Amino acid sequence: MTMEVSLYPGCSLDGVAREYRESLEAVSRTLGLELKELDDWACCGASSAHAVNDKLAIGLAARNLEIAARAGRDVVVPCAACYQRLKVAEKYLMQGKEVEGYSGKFNGKIQIKDMVVYFWENVGERAIREKVEKPLKGLNAVCYYGCLVTRPPKITDIKDWENPQTMDRLMKALGATVKDWSFKTECCGGNLMLTRPEVAHKLTARLLDMAAEAGAECIVVACPLCQSNLDMRQMEISMETGNRYSTPVYYFSELMGVAYGNPAAGKWLGRHMTEARTLLRQKGLM
């Protein structure tokens, strides 16, 4: 039986994060989940609208919630920044506050869920495990949640916001060895990359260093902004610091595709800036 859920893709999934979208859609089909893209969705305002115009920031996200309410299905959000903006609008609307141009269709009956959380809670561990053809045995990973999908908890509704575990559990269900580390919700500096690159590079380098110190060979993410920042900047940081960084940064859905034996996984991983296929070949997974 096929489950249906609304997808709010955000602006990145058809651009710099095409591999994220393609892998999400592929593993969803494998698990009997149909992602129904919201009709006529628009930018949620991340990451600039809320810093420029409060009314616009709420209005953009509220419009998307209204579309989701009309569709009548729970909505999943693959991007941490988009997820937080939709959750901010949800809390705003549920308090009965007025939003310019909003007709009041959203009543809180549909849930807004982070993509990883939806897989784990709604699809379920059993279904995730049953589809594994190539367990990720011997792959040492750390899971990186970033700073937006969990905080602040009064907005995100994430219960284990100080030490989230959902992605860790999902990766373990696929057979990976997940290392504990204290930096899974630290900022990677992505929002500073254009304005203060020197600060962003230090934050990113610290995450790469701490992942290696934890014994990880790769970093697993669930946000296009975090992935692009950690993946794309390693060469620049290597040149600045003299240290050689070459840590693969995988979307969790790409590794699900690898574990499920999806032949398109090589194409997804080939779009990464930091080489991502060699490690998996060394592990006998590709």
Q: What is the CATH number of the domain that holds 44?
A: 1.20.1050.140
Are residues 33 and 101 both part of a single domain?
yes
Residue 247 lies in a domain: yes
Are residues 184 and 93 both part of a single domain?
no
pTM of the model: 0.96
Are residues 201 and 138 both part of a single domain?
yes
What range does the domain containing 70 cover? Answer: 3-115
Residue 56 lies in a domain: yes
Q: Please list the alpha-helical segments (H only) found in 114-223.
A: 115-118, 125-130, 153-156, 166-173, 197-213
Are residues 148 and 260 both part of a single domain?
yes
Are residues 34 and 148 both part of a single domain?
no
- Where among 86, 115, 144 does a domain terminate? 115
In the chain, what's the furthest Cα-to-Cα distance? Answer: 56
User: Which residues have C-beta within 8 Å of that of residue 93, sequence separation ≥ 6?
Assistant: 62, 65, 99, 102, 106, 108
Angle at 140 between CA 139 and CA 143, to 5 degrees: 115
Are residues 184 and 239 both part of a single domain?
yes
What burial letters (b/e) apply to 237-253, b meaning 16+ CB within 10 Å?
A: beeeeeeebebbbbbbb
Query: Tokens in use for 82?
Result: 């988009």
Are residues 91 and 150 both part of a single domain?
no
Residue 272 lies in a domain: yes
pLDDT tens for the 286 residues of the chain, in order = 789 999 999 999 988 999 999 999 999 999 999 999 999 999 998 867 777 888 888 999 999 999 999 999 999 999 999 999 999 999 999 998 888 777 777 889 999 999 999 999 999 999 999 999 999 999 999 999 999 999 999 999 999 999 999 999 999 999 999 999 999 999 998 877 767 889 999 999 999 999 999 999 999 999 999 999 999 999 999 999 999 999 999 999 999 999 999 999 999 999 999 999 999 999 999 9
Residue 121 lies in a domain: no
Tell me the HSE value of 230 on the side-chain side, using a 13 A CA sphere: 30
Are residues 75 and 142 both part of a single domain?
no
Total domains, the chain: 2
